[in-house]
Structure 1
Amino acid sequence: MPVESIGSTTGAPTAAGSTGNKTIDQDAFIKLFLTQLQFQDPLEPVDNREFLAQMAQFSALEQARQTSQNTNDLLSMNATTQALGLLNRQVDVAGLGAPFSGTVIAVQFTTNGAQLSVRDTAGQITTGVRLSQITLVKL
């Protein structure tokens, strides 16, 4: 997943399972687990340690997924705070053709992160400026 240079995530999925990958949630895992118990061969039952290991692995994966989601949320909040902190500030912008200076007049939040609107010294407004394109912030 690409990450902007000063902290925001881009293209982050909005909810677990919305990315179309082939994963199961906790409820589906429990149903699968119970079905496996119900239909096991009574003459050769599966070892209890194997079931406990499967539960522990699933628990660890769920915790890792939650940690990843929380990290993405923190990065998004950080980028939001940074973008709002640039309102009415003089900035230098690069990466949109010729570098220019201007004042941040608006912040728009999209699925790709915060995008700034910058008014240059001639009064022309440039929209869609990403945080990573800001090279200098002046007081």
Structure 2
Amino acid sequence: METSGVSSTTSGQNLTGTSVTKNLDRDAFLKLLITELRNQDPLKPMEDKDFIAQLAQFSSLEQMQKLNQTFETVGKNEAATRAFAMIGKKVDYISAEGDEPVAGYVDGVVFDAGLPVLEIGSTRVDMEKVVRVYR
């Protein structure tokens, strides 16, 4: 049985304008494998090595998904740590009203959709708007 590689794109649209699925998830992989097993030629069943190779691919897919989740968690934790380290420090940030930096002291940190947002006085500032941190 020949196998071929599959590549995914991060975004795109098909000709009808609906979005294209980014990646093959666990359930889709299992459905594909079961469909292949059901529709195989009884006179030429799947060889053991091919079946084992597909199971190995499935295992690799699961491990990559777990690794991706771990990286996302590490990234969020690192961002939270950086935000907490700014509490009490003077920062310059770009306000929503203009391009000139505004100075203020970080009073606290809140989370919006899992991402840290700095509280500077009565203003909430996304961390990417901070252009300078003082000692």
TM-score (norm 2): 0.69
Matches within 5 A, 1:90-129: 90-96=90-96, 97=98, 98-111=100-113, 113-119=115-121, 125-127=122-124, 129=125
Matches within 5 A, 1:1-139: 23-25=24-26, 29=30, 33=33, 37=37, 40-96=40-96, 97=98, 98-111=100-113, 113-119=115-121, 125-127=122-124, 129-139=125-135
Instruction: Give the gaps of 5 or more residues in structure 2.
Output: 1-20
| Separation (CA, whole Å) in 2 of partners of 1:49 and 1:88 | 61
| Separation (CA, whole Å) in 1 of partners of 2:73 and 2:114 | 14
| Separation (CA, whole Å) in 2 of partners of 1:45 and 1:51 | 10
The structure showing larger relative contact order (alpha-carbon pairs under 8 Å, at least 6 residues apart) is 1
Instruction: Give the gaps of 5 or more residues in structure 1.
Output: 1-19, 120-124
Identity of aligned residues (%): 31
Runs of 4+ in 1 over 3 A off after TM superposition: 20-24, 31-42
* RMSD after superposition: 2.6
User: 1:126 deviation in Å?
Assistant: 1.5
TM-score (norm 1): 0.67
Q: Secondary structure at the match of 1:103?
A: strand
User: 1:60 deviation in Å?
Assistant: 1.4
| Separation (CA, whole Å) in 2 of partners of 1:21 and 1:42 | 34
